[in-house]
Amino acid sequence: MMFGVTGIPIRTQLGLDSTEFGILTATPVLSGAIFRLPLGIWTDRLGGRRIMFALLIGCAVPVWISAYATTLWQFLLLGLALGLVGAAFSVGTPYVARFFSKEQRGFAMGFFGAGTIGAALNMFVAPSLITAYGWQMVPKVYAVVLIVTAVIFWIFSAPDPARTAAAPSMVKQLSVLRDPRVWKYCQYYSIVFGGFTALSVWMPQYFKSEYELSIAQAALLAACFALPAGVFRALGGWLSDRFGAHAVTWWVLWVAWVCLFILSYPRTDLIVHTIHGPAGFSIALPSWLFTALLFILGVAFALGMASTFKYIGDDFPDNMGAVSGIVGMVGGLGGFLLPIMFGAILDRLGVNSSCFMLLYGIVWVSLILNYLTEVRRTPVMGETMGIELLTPEMPR
């Protein structure tokens, strides 16, 4: 998420347009997405503790070097390298989940996922460092933090729990790709995680452009979206344990759909010809209302990220590394493609809210998929009380 804030002065320095800015902010997400699958498989085979430690140490190097980049191709190349740290989620999720029973697994994975609060902390830390020392100081500080985190993790983390059976072969692990449930969860995660990632890096410049705020003010308001994704992810895991992954996902998609519908409406000036002459009206979301809706959307995405991985923990307990890697990879690819699409659509239409229009369409597809594959198969309340009711699948 670092380029979401440092990318603003970098954009000015390099003279980037919206599409190029989208590519800059999305490039780290690409490598993080691609490597989620192999890292998830290696976690199943080698253990999460060793893989996580190596990943944190290795990624500190390109993060530090990025402070010395001066051209776009250098930023893109280093972005591919430093983005590997984003694949840590496919390492930590199966590592943490195996310490807990099925009934506690949703909350455990959600609590681990609360680490995405770092995206919100970035909104506070990076602007302060940029103001005091320039953007080059941000990657240097983050590289040191990665190394310190790796050392603390290695000292205090528990060894991987012993497996009751030998690790499956890679061919068997990849056989889950034939299961349609995996691709359905990929669709869900592409919006809840991909949308979260894309908006996290896009919102600072959105606030700056739409409301003419400073970098510090824009980053502060953007944190209102990124912060809930960390704080409420543990709650999403608990709710999924309590009410089931399907119920949480269904309501998450509806809440996101409503928020995105309102956020999509562009700033508009209307002139109505009345009997007393032309009357002008302006339709626009004030910054406080926009931020409030963004906060609700962030909460919904946080709950959805947790419920998606609850699905995985319940349906694929013996192959969580591979499945979480696949789902995480597709979600990460969504986070990579969406900022580029945001920039391309913005360059084409010139409407800032076009990014929300795109996400609105994706959520609509997810709602239809959820209804066709789960809602129509879910028993209605009357059946649980012994009352025979007609459903669309039951002949009269």
State the average pLDDT over residues 281-290: 86
Residue 388 has pLDDT above 60, yes or no: no
Summary mean pLDDT of the chain: 82
DSSP letters spanning 196-218? HHHHHHHHHHHHHHHH---HHHH
End-to-end CA distance of the chain: 55
Phi, psi angle pair for 313, to nearest 5°? -60, -35
Kindly list the distances between the CA atom of residue 204 and the CA atoms of 18, 28, 210, 238, in Å, as whole numbers in the listed order: 13, 17, 10, 31
Question: Which pLDDT belongs to residue 389?
Answer: 36
- For residues 227-243, give the mean pLDDT: 80
**Cα–Cα distance measured from residue 56 to residue 42, given in angstroms and rounded to the nearest whole number:** 15
Q: What contacts 143, CB < 8 A, 6 or more positions away?
A: 60, 61, 63, 64
pLDDT band for position 168 (50/70/90)? low
**Cβ burial, residue 124 (10 Å; 0-12/13-18/19+):** middle
Closest CA to 36 of 335, 321, 334, 315: 321
Q: By the 8 A CB rule, do 390 and 294 touch? A: no
pTM of the model: 0.70
Instruction: Return the closest-CA partner of residue 126 out of 215, 236, 238.
Output: 215
| Greater model confidence, 386 or 1 | 1
Provide the pLDDT for residue 169: 63
Residue 387, pLDDT > 50, answer no
A 10 A CB-CB count for 261 gives 14
The C-alpha atoms of residue 206 and residue 241 are separated, in whole angstroms, by 36
pLDDT at 385: 34
Is residue 176 exposed (0-12), middle (13-18) or buried (19+ Cβ within 10 Å)? middle
DSSP characters over 296-358? HHHHHHHHHHHHHHHHHHHH-TTSHHHHHHHHHHHHHHHHHHHHHHHHHHHHHH--TTHHHHH
Do residues 233 and 305 make contact, with C-beta atoms less than 8 angstroms apart?
yes
Question: What average pLDDT score do residues 367-395 get?
Answer: 55
Domains identified in the chain and CATH numbers:
2-161+182-272+279-376 (1.20.1250.20)
Average pLDDT over residues 4-22: 85
Angstrom distance (rounded) from CA 354 to CA 342:
7
pLDDT tens-digit series, residues 305-355? 888 888 887 777 767 777 877 887 888 888 888 888 998 899 888 888 999
Across residues 231-249, what is the average pLDDT? Answer: 85
